[in-house]
C-alpha cells in the first residue's frame, strides 16, 4: 500500500494526455468474451480495475496480455463460467461480465460485486432484464446461479432507471440472442456508444446507442476486431477542476469535447474560459473563482455523479456559496469530512451539500474512502498550504492512471510514498 504526499500550493503548467476511459474499457473487455477470434483494445488505461478485468478473463480461460496501453484478448480457449468471489469483490463493475458469460456459455455463476462503498447500488435491473432475455436466476447465500436453458431470446425491455451497467449487460447479451431486443429508457452515456461501436465492429447489429431507445438485432456469433477506447471524460473533468482550483492554465490532449458538455458550463460559471480545437481543450481560470450556484447530479446528459467530488474540491476555494445535490448515490459525500480537516466550510443535509468558499486550505493527513472522493482530496492538496498526505490511494488507482506521474508532468510537487515512510 502507498500514499500520496503533496506539497502545496502547486501551480500546474503544460499539457496532459488524457488516458482511455475506465468506464468504457471494462465493458469492452467483458464483451470480448463473446468473440470467436482475438480482440485488440487500444488506449486501455493502466488501472487496477482494468488489471482485475484482465485477470477475470484469464480466470475464464481466455489468453490475455496487457502492455503499453494495449490489451490483447484471445477468447477462444475460454471454457469456465464462474468468477471467484475474490475477483468479484475487487470491483463493482465486475457484474458486467454476467451477460457476456451467459451469452457465451449459456450459464454463469458469480457472487454480488464489491468495489467503492457508495451506498446501495442494486443489480436488480440487470437481473430483471436478463430474465426478460430468457435467463433463469437463482440466488443462494449471495451467489447467483444463472442458466439459459433455451438460449437467449430477444425481448422488449424498459428500464425503470437508465442504469449504465444494466444497459451494458443488455447490449452484450442481446447482441447474440435470437431475435430482436428493443431497450427503452436506456442509459445514454458516451461509454454506451463506445460499447455499441465495439460490438458493431465485431459484427453485432445495434442502432440507437446514445439515445433512450436502442434496438439490438441478435446475430449468431461475433468476431474479434481492433478497437480504440474513447478518452476518459471523468479524468478530463478532474484535471480541469485541479487547474481551476490552483489558478492554472492547462491544456488537455486527446479529449472528445462533446463528452464534456455536461460539465463545461460549471467551469464557465466559475469564471473559467474554455478553448477547444479538435481533440484539444484548454482551460484559463480567473484570478478568483466564482461560486457555482447549483449542481445536480443526473444521468447523462446531466451532470455526472463521478465529477461531483472533484468539482466540490474546486468550489471550496471559490468566492461565494455553491450548492450540490446528489441524486444518484446516497453516500457520495464521504470526502466532505476530509475536506473539513483541511479547512473547507461544507454543510451536508441528506443529499444536499452547501459549500462556503474559503480563502485557502491547509495541508493535513487525509484518507480516500472511494475513487472520486480520493481525487477530490488530491485537488485539495494541490491547493492547500503545506503538506497533505493522502492515504487510501488504492481507490484512486482504480480510475486514474499513475496520477502522481501525471501531476509531476505538470510541475506539481506530488510523490508516491510507501505507508512505512512518514
Cα–Cα distance, 322 to 401 (Å, whole number): 29
Per-residue H/E/C for 155-198: CEEECCCCCHHHHHHHHHHHCCCECEEEEECCCCCHHHHHHHHH
Residues 6+ apart with CB under 8 A from 186: 159, 162, 167, 170, 192, 208, 209, 211, 212, 213, 214
What digits encode the pLDDT tens for the residues 277-316?
Answer: 999 999 999 999 999 999 999 999 999 999 999 999 999 9
What does the pLDDT average to over 71-96?
90
Please state the domain extents for the chain.
2-18+231-418, 22-228
Cα–Cα distance, 96 to 126 (Å, whole number): 9
Q: Do 127 and 137 touch, CB atoms closer than 8 A?
A: yes
Catalytic residue among 62, 116, 146, 202: 116
Q: Do 16 and 406 touch, CB atoms closer than 8 A?
A: yes
Residue ranges for the known binding site are 22-23, 92, 121-125, 306, 328
Per-residue H/E/C for the chain: CEEEEEEECCCCCCEEECCECHHHHHHHHHHHHHECCCEEEECCCCCHHHHHHHHHHHHCCCEEEEECCEEEEECCCCCCCECCHHHHCCCHHHHHHHHHHHHHHCEEEEECCCCCCCCCCCCHHHHHHHHHCCCEEEEECCEEEEECCCCCECCEEECCCCCHHHHHHHHHHHCCCECEEEEECCCCCHHHHHHHHHHHHCCCEEECECECEEEEECCCCECCCEEECCECHHHHHHHHHHHHHCCCCEEEECCCHHHHCCCHHHHHHCCCEEEEECCEEEEECCCCCECCCEEEECCCCCECHHHHHHHHHHHCCCECEEEEECCCCCCCCCHHHHHHHCCCEEEEECCEEEEECCCCCECCEEECCCHHHHHHHHHHHHHCEEEEEEECHHHHCCCCCCHHHHHHCCCCCEEEEECCCC
The phi, psi pair for 338, rounded to 5°, reads -70, -35
The reply to whether domains 2-18+231-418 and 22-228 share a CATH topology is yes
Q: What is the pTM of this model?
A: 0.95
pLDDT above 60 for 130 = yes
Query: 422 pLDDT band (50/70/90 cuts)?
Result: low
What digits encode the pLDDT tens for the residues 15-72?
Answer: 999 999 999 999 999 999 999 999 999 999 999 999 999 999 999 999 999 999 999 9
What digits encode the pLDDT tens for the residues 313-372?
Answer: 999 999 999 999 999 988 899 999 999 999 999 999 999 999 999 999 999 999 999 999
Domain 2-18+231-418, CATH 3.40.640.10 — does that match?
no
Task: Tell me the CB-side half-sphere exposure of residue 199, using CA atoms within 13 A.
Answer: 32
Q: 215 an active-site residue?
A: no
What digits encode the pLDDT tens for the residues 145-175?
Answer: 999 999 999 999 999 999 999 999 999 999 9
Cα–Cα distance, 306 to 381 (Å, whole number): 19
Residue ranges for the known binding site for UDP-N-acetyl-alpha-D-glucosamine are 92, 121-125, 306, 328
CATH fold for the domain made of 22-228 = UDP-n-acetylglucosamine1-carboxyvinyl-transferase; Chain (3.65.10)
Residue ranges for the known binding site for phosphoenolpyruvate are 22-23
What does the pLDDT average to over 402-421?
94
Cα–Cα distance, 215 to 374 (Å, whole number): 38
pLDDT of 5:
98
pLDDT of 116:
44
Cα–Cα distance, 301 to 180 (Å, whole number): 27
pLDDT above 80 for 120 = no
Q: Do 211 and 183 touch, CB atoms closer than 8 A?
A: no
Amino acid at each position: 500500500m502507498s500514499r500520496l504526499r503533496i506539497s502545496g500550493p502547486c501551480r500546474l503548467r503544460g499539457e496532459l494526455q488524457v488516458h482511455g476511459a475506465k468506464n468504457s474499457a471494462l465493458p469492452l473487455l467483458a464483451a470480448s468474451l463473446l468473440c470467436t477470434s482475438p480482440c485488440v483494445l487500444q488506449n486501455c488505461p493502466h488501472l487496477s480495475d482494468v488489471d482485475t478485468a484482465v485477470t477475470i478473463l484469464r480466470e475464464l480461460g481466455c489468453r490475455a496480455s496487457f502492455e503499453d496501453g494495449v490489451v490483447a484478448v484471445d477468447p477462444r480457449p475460454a471454457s469456465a463460467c464462474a468468477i471467484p468471489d475474490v475477483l468479484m469483490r475487487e470491483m463493482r463493475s465486475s457484474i458486467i461480465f454476467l451477460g457476456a458469460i451467459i451469452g457465451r456459455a449459456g450459464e454463469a455463476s458469480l457472487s454480488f460485486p464489491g468495489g467503492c462503498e457508495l451506498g446501495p447500488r442494486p443489480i436488480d435491473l440487470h437481473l430483471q432484464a436478463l430474465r426478460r432475455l430468457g435467463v433463469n436466476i437463482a440466488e443462494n447465500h449471495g451467489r447467483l446461479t444463472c442458466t439459459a436453458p433455451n438460449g437467449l431470446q430477444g425481448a422488449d425491455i424498459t428500464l425503470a432507471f437508465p442504469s449504465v451497467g444494466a444497459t451494458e449487460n443488455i447490449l452484450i447479451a442481446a447482441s447474440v440472442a435470437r431475435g430482436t431486443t428493443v431497450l427503452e429508457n436506456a442509459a445514454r452515456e458516451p461509454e454506451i456508444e463506445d460499447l455499441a461501436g465495439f460490438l458493431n465492429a465485431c459484427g453485432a447489429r445495434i442502432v440507437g446507442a446514445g439515445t433512450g431507445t436502442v434496438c439490438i438485432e441478435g446475430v449468431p456469433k461475433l468476431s474479434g476486431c481492433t478497437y480504440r477506447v474513447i478518452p476518459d471524460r471523468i479524468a478530463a473533468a478532474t484535471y480541469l477542476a485541479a487547474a481551476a482550483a490552483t489558478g492554472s492554465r492547462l491544456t488537455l490532449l486527446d479529449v472528445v469535447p462533446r463528452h464534456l458538455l455536461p460539465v463545461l458550463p460549471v467551469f464557465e460559471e466559475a469564471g473559467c474560459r474554455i478553448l477547444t480545437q479538435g481533440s484539444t481543450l484548454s482551460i484559463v481560470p480567473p484570478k478568483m473563482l466564482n461560486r457555482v450556484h447549483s449542481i445536480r447530479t443526473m444521468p447523462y446528459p446531466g451532470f455526472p455523479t463521478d465529477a461531483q467530488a472533484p468539482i466540490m474540491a474546486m468550489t471550496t476555494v471559490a468566492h461565494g456559496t455553491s450548492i450540490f445535490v446528489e441524486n444518484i448515490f446516497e453516500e457520495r459525500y464521504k470526502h466532505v469530512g476530509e475536506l473539513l480537516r483541511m479547512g473547507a466550510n461544507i454543510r451536508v443535509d441528506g443529499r444536499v451539500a452547501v459549500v462556503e468558499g474559503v480563502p485557502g486550505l491547509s495541508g493535513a493527513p487525509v484518507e480516500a474512502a472511494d475513487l472520486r472522493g480520493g481525487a477530490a482530496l488530491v485537488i485539495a492538496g494541490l491547493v492547500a498550504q503545506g503538506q497533505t498526505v493522502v492515504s487510501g490511494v488504492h481507490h484512486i488507482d482504480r480510475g486514474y492512471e499513475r496520477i502522481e506521474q501525471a501531476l509531476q508532468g505538470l510541475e506539481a510537487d506530488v510523490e508516491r510514498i510507501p505507508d512505512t515512510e512518514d
